[in-house]
Structure 1
């Protein structure tokens, strides 16, 4: 399938990297040119847009498109990584009221500055921040201008808070979770993250990652979106 060209939308499962998904498509279907339009952390799930063939040259277009997520934030614990993988660095009682939580969450809407977390794939002087963070190093990061188009609380079951976020490029949801904890005065970290939309591509068009294992060439070809 060297000449395959188009888009494949995959529902990435927890525990696999975005590169694992790319490698699976290369190996199982013989597609040489495969890229993706925005990394998902290993512990995140959901929409991963794969670019096949000549579409890899248009990665910049797809990377710049808005994305939408659902997430669960745990209040009362701050971790070094901003998610449940990291060591807990502070614990505080959760005494905030629901109306305070909703007000803080809604306060993220619009344009603002966000400092990228150390545990991220962003590069500083050619080095990925998470590589430095794993060595116990911390470097100065310049803030990015981000744009939260939509944000809402979907459920509150303390200490857990569910949120939905539609945002522009370069937004780190784990940093929103960390900032929520700071604003509420109790600390917080991200426990679940699912991307439900990337650009115009939603979960309804996504193939489960495990389905790629036994998919035949015909079904694979039918699953490719050709624009």
Structure 2
């Protein structure tokens, strides 16, 4: 049983869960929350139960940085089995089109440029996209006809990792909103042989990759103090780890206190930053705020309560 809410504690940071196949993202959050007995937790981007890999979980003040992780780059490794398209575009669905034809490696490679850059993609009917307030997958499961509009996505790179007569494994680096299952579906149609995803792993989300990841079993063992494993606190990454893509500004304790009270500060002189936009503001090694710099004025957007700064 989970600990009573009143006994939960303030825990701030990121845990990068290596989610196994079969676990939902919500269940993954629950595991981490229970191990750390944390008051507040959430994840940065749903990972389907049939997929494994990187599920960044934010605890406490780290939840304020979730959008910066979700908007970051993602890398997926996925296997497409040729010869059948399913209504879910993966192994959970039923075959709706089949073919005895199989693509050659040269035919697949010739198509890849068409799937890189900014492209138009129709999401899978079995997706979490809402239609009139209802999830598309709920409507599809109820037998209703689901029509989703194409949307622009950005695929930075799509390359072949492994290939055989029956299946091809790809690695895709892509932006927010990309559906790997739709890539498999569309490749199969363009090749005239149909295809669906039979294995999927997310290897990178934002600044987090597989080197940061820990499995649920490892987390539990670390919590129990199993020999040869570090303490569970070592799995907790600092809140600011999610913000590595942002500029970092160091300010004085006095200026940090102003930002913590929601007040702007003016940065002038030779040491004033020369950029404009959002930055992570630190003082004495502690993350103070996310703030927007405009014409020398730093305006706080999100304030962090991580200790070390008096408001």
SS at match of 2:45: coil
SS at match of 1:26: helix
Structure-2 separation of matches of 1:60 and 1:109: 24
Deviations 1:145-184 (A, max 9, x none): 1000011011111210010000000000000000001100
Mapping of 1:1-227 within 5 angstroms? 2-216=9-223, 219-226=231-238, 227=240
SS at match of 1:121: coil
Q: Is the 8 A contact 1:83 1:191 kept in 2?
A: yes
Deviations 1:129-149 (A, max 9, x none): 111111112222122210000
Ranges in structure 1 where 5+ consecutive residues have no aligned partner: none
SS at match of 1:171: coil
Structure-1 residue corresponding to 2:280: none
TM-score relative to the length of structure 2: 0.70
SS at match of 1:107: helix
Structure-2 separation of matches of 1:43 and 1:171: 17
Structure-1 separation of matches of 2:65 and 2:105: 43
Deviating runs (4+, > 3 A) in structure 1?
A: none
User: 73-82 vs 49-58, which deviates more?
Assistant: 49-58
Structure-1 separation of matches of 2:236 and 2:34: 16
Structure-2 separation of matches of 1:13 and 1:119: 21
Structure-1 separation of matches of 2:223 and 2:137: 37
Structure-2 separation of matches of 1:9 and 1:148: 24
Structure-1 separation of matches of 2:113 and 2:159: 6
TM-score relative to the length of structure 1: 0.95
Structure-1 separation of matches of 2:222 and 2:159: 37
- Alignment length, in residue pairs? 227
Structure number with greater CO (CA < 8 Å, separation at least 6) is 1
Structure-1 residue corresponding to 2:284: none
Ranges in structure 2 where 5+ consecutive residues have no aligned partner: 1-7, 225-229, 241-311
Q: Is the 8 A contact 2:11 2:39 kept in 1?
A: no
Q: Is the 8 A contact 1:18 1:42 kept in 2?
A: yes
Instruction: Compare CA radii of gyration and give the structure with the larger one.
Output: 2
Structure-1 separation of matches of 2:176 and 2:61: 23
